[in-house]
Amino acid sequence: MTRDVPEAEFGLVGAPSELPGGVTGVLRFGDVVVKPVTDVAAAEWTQSVFAELPAANDVRWLRPMPSHDGRWVVDGWIANEFLPGLTAVAPDWATVIEFGGRFHAATQAIRPPAAMLLARAHRWARGERHAFDEQRYELTPEAAAIDAVLEQWCAPDPIRHRWCTWISPPMSSSPPTAPDRPMANSPRTAAS
């Protein structure tokens, strides 16, 4: 790790275990997962919004956990509840699309601040600009094929978010879960 985890600030107990997949450095401490973030403004905004968003009946997302003093980001880290049994559904694209639609229905009214979106320059931001046709990038043949399918699927509603491949299938009677929350939104759509 390049940054020390703020264990005391988030009330983390016990030895951490690294969670596989996704972002490197995601750690579990009992019922809490901490993750390093590169975009503090986006992480603070996302954590605060999803902490207040009412639960949906047909999809779940990880609930943000603030530090003891109420901060969402501490020394470049965020904390969320741990939900056991999460698995990626990709490459089952029909399921990805179904669960992505459910998550979109629960979050479609959320509009990130356009200025915050425009200030982002990391790889996810570049990917979103490509997805929203704001700036095109050269893609590998495999990525271009997926891009073409997603363009058709998203044509009537371009806000569907980029994280839907990490939506987990329902565990027993639980609804599917989005283990990460979207920042995918175009500055153009955010302003509307």
Query: In this structure, what is the dihedral angle of CA atoms 57, 59, 62, 66, given to the nearest 10 degrees?
Result: -40
What mean pLDDT comes out for the span 141-158?
73
Report the alpha-carbon distance of residue 185 to residue 136 in Å, rounded: 16
Q: Is the pLDDT of residue 56 over 50?
A: yes
pLDDT band at 111 (very low <50, low <70, confident <90, very high): confident
* Three-class secondary structure of residue 80 per DSSP: strand
Report the alpha-carbon distance of residue 129 to residue 6 in Å, rounded: 33
pLDDT of residue 169: 46
Q: Is the pLDDT of residue 186 over 60?
A: no
What mean pLDDT comes out for the span 179-190?
50
Q: Buried (b) or exposed (e) across 22-32, using 16+ Cβ within 10 A?
A: eeeebbbbeeb
* Residue 66: both structure tokens together: 């603030």
Strands (E) in the chain, as ranges, are: 17-18, 27-29, 32-36, 60-61, 77-81, 177-178
Q: Is the pLDDT of residue 89 over 60?
A: yes
